[in-house]
Structure 1
Amino acid sequence: MNIFEKALELEKQHKPFVIATVVKVEGSTPGKIGFKILVEDKDKIFGTVGGGEIEQEVISESIRRMKTKENGIVEYLLSGDAPIKDKAKVLNMSCSGRCWIFYEVFGNKPIVYIFGGGHVGHALLKQLSLLNFHKILIDNRPEFANKEANPYADEIILSDYSEYAYTFNPPEDAFIVVMTHGHGFDFDVIEQIYARNLKVRYIGVIASKTKAQKLKNQIKEIFGDVDLSNLHSPIGLDIGGETPQEIALSIAAELQAELYKKVLK
């Protein structure tokens, strides 16, 4: 397996990683132009930029950038005898050369599971296609669970809602949006999520204030003193509007605010 095959494998698994590439060198350096290293975490690396202290530095910088989602080039001076005003990052190596490393972050899209591909679901998928989300649509109707009906979904799953909610394993930073074509289906999904004690960043259910309160009461009756702090229902920010497109905009805005941990007044 080469580095590109490894990157494709991680992309399919929605796992974040960084590819660091030597793009320029001057003088003596262990890495040559084109050397690459793929960093998944400190113990999961693939490839090399030459080994030694420069490689350990690149691994650490890759892990930092994975968190900040920041691409960019860093210049390194591989010598402890650096000029005082040298702009390069200095490493205590005997090579005395310089190298420039380009860092590129991949696979860092947050995942949003959307249960229901009707009018609002379709509009939400379209809205989120403009943002940095990986969108997975789940619907139990063949006429909605296809690319022709919902072209903005990155993945489409035709499944019974409750069965899928019983088996899927979302990452902890995932978003779950429930907007099926029946409140019974909505409840089935939410019940499975809390029965399995799934830990996710955000759970949203489309509902009126009355139905939202009824849903929360039902969950508490079944599961007791359960934490509902990440359950958003009614879903979306109160910015006005009644059309599917307007509702989708309010939901997308709430997801974006949650993603960036913004407290809205």
Structure 2
Amino acid sequence: MEWQEQLNKLAGQDVMLVLAVERDGSTPGASGAKMLVTETGRAWGTIGGGQLEYSCEARARELLAAGRCAVERFELRPQGAGDLGMVCGGDVTVWFQYLPGAVLEQSPEGPLLWLLLEQDKTGQGKARLCTARELEGGRRICGGGRFTDTPEGGYRYLECLTAQDTVYIFGAGHVAQALAPGLAGVGFSCHVLDDRAEYARPEAFPTAAEVRQADLERLEEVCARITPDDYVCVMTHGHRHDHEVVRQMLRTPACYIGVIGSARKAAASAQRLREEGFTDPDIARITTPIGLSIGAETPEEIAVSILAQMIQVRAARRAAE
């Protein structure tokens, strides 16, 4: 919820929201990168650093002083029309959205906060912060994309500002404790479940959205919550418990099911699942051993490998949308 926290901190102040909405060629950062700029300079976030960010921050302060919006294109190649002295070789379209303090004060409460921006061809713009329910029509007018041209020659931009990727971690041991903060830091909402009360402690997972004790053999209520956009990490305190969780997770539409353990354990688990009636396509949904192969050994290193793999899976899914 970092965006929500930042908006709450800046409520009452006039702010310029700077978004890199389109990138062509080689550029620093990624589309969707954003920062908030106040009259004193950058308050939070980044659009890639370097001369691009410096120039955009200066431009944002100019527009903020005038209470204006703009959509501008920056060339990141030598001797281009908008040359910034960079040699990346790409172009970046940047949206500068003026957010009066009153807009931030009216930020609605809810698990998902959406930003809808609209700007006409004269540079006049308006912004809305709203919940998913309020924005059903907004999603349709944006045509399913983040940044779109309008028939009138203007622009629209739509983005969910708060975490919308959910991960369920089964097992609250050392790896889970190392993994949860990293996941929260890159936009995952973490739900941690363990059958041991002494491990299922909220104070051990301060960044998690939920930490609770659960019967790992009876996860019907959790399974009913899992959507095709959700991720599952299985790392309980024993092979039997891992297997019980995996059996149940295969009946959900989760986009990622990662299971900790060795290749030998994975082969034995796959054979047992076949004997229980699961098909090869079912078993192919399981990522095990979980994490990228980087030679990780400690809980912290294993957590890094898992985090990197989940970022990789999420990026591939977003690219395919």
TM bucket normalised to smaller: 0.5 to 0.7
Residue 299 of structure 2 corresponds to which residue in structure 1? 244
Change beyond 3 A, Cα 1:40–1:189: same
Correspondent of 2:186 among 114, 131, 139: 131
1:115-143 deviation digits (Å, cap 9, x = unpaired)? 01110110111222321211111112222
Change beyond 3 A, Cα 1:178–1:152: same
SS of aligned partner of 1:163: coil
Change beyond 3 A, Cα 1:5–1:182: farther
Counterparts of 1:25-64 in structure 2, within 5 Å, are 36=128, 38=130, 40=132, 44-45=136-137, 59-61=140-142, 63-64=144-145
Shift of 1:23: 7.8
User: 2 CA distance for matches of 1:9 and 1:41?
Assistant: 10
Residue 193 of structure 1 corresponds to which residue in structure 2? 249
Compute the TM-score of the two structures, normalised by the length of structure 2: 0.56
Correspondent of 2:312 among 224, 232, 257: 257
1:163-200 deviation digits (Å, cap 9, x = unpaired)? 22564321102110000111111111111223xx2111
Q: Does 1:225 align with 2:286?
A: no
Gaps of 5+ in 2: 1-104
Q: Does 1:8 align with 2:8?
A: no
SS of aligned partner of 2:267: helix
Correspondent of 1:153 among 199, 208, 217: 208
Structure of greater relative contact order (alpha carbons < 8 Å, 6+ residues apart): 1
Change beyond 3 A, Cα 1:242–1:200: same
SS of aligned partner of 1:177: strand
Change beyond 3 A, Cα 1:107–1:127: closer
1:182-226 deviation digits (Å, cap 9, x = unpaired)? 1111111111223xx211111011111111111111111102424
Indicate conservation of the 8 Å contact 1:37/1:45, yes or no. no
SS of aligned partner of 1:260: helix
Give the partner amino acid of 1:243.
T
Correspondent of 2:270 among 193, 216, 220: 216
Change beyond 3 A, Cα 1:22–1:258: closer
Indicate conservation of the 8 Å contact 1:165/1:189, yes or no. no
Give the partner amino acid of 1:8.
E
Shift of 1:144: 1.9
SS of aligned partner of 1:8: coil
Aligned-CA RMSD value: 3.6
Indicate conservation of the 8 Å contact 2:266/2:288, yes or no. yes
Give the strand-richer structure, 1 or 2: 2
Give the number of equivalent residue pairs: 212
Percent identity (aligned): 28
SS of aligned partner of 2:266: helix
Correspondent of 2:237 among 159, 181, 193: 181
User: 1 CA distance for matches of 2:297 and 2:175?
Assistant: 10
Give the partner amino acid of 1:19.
L
Shift of 1:62: 6.8
Compute the TM-score of the two structures, normalised by the length of structure 1: 0.66
Correspondent of 1:91 among 143, 152, 167: 152
Give the partner amino acid of 2:109.
L
Indicate conservation of the 8 Å contact 1:39/1:63, yes or no. no
SS of aligned partner of 1:143: coil
Indicate conservation of the 8 Å contact 1:39/1:62, yes or no. no
Indicate conservation of the 8 Å contact 2:108/2:131, yes or no. no
User: 2 CA distance for matches of 1:115 and 1:190?
Assistant: 10
Gaps of 5+ in 1: 12-16, 47-57, 77-88, 93-98
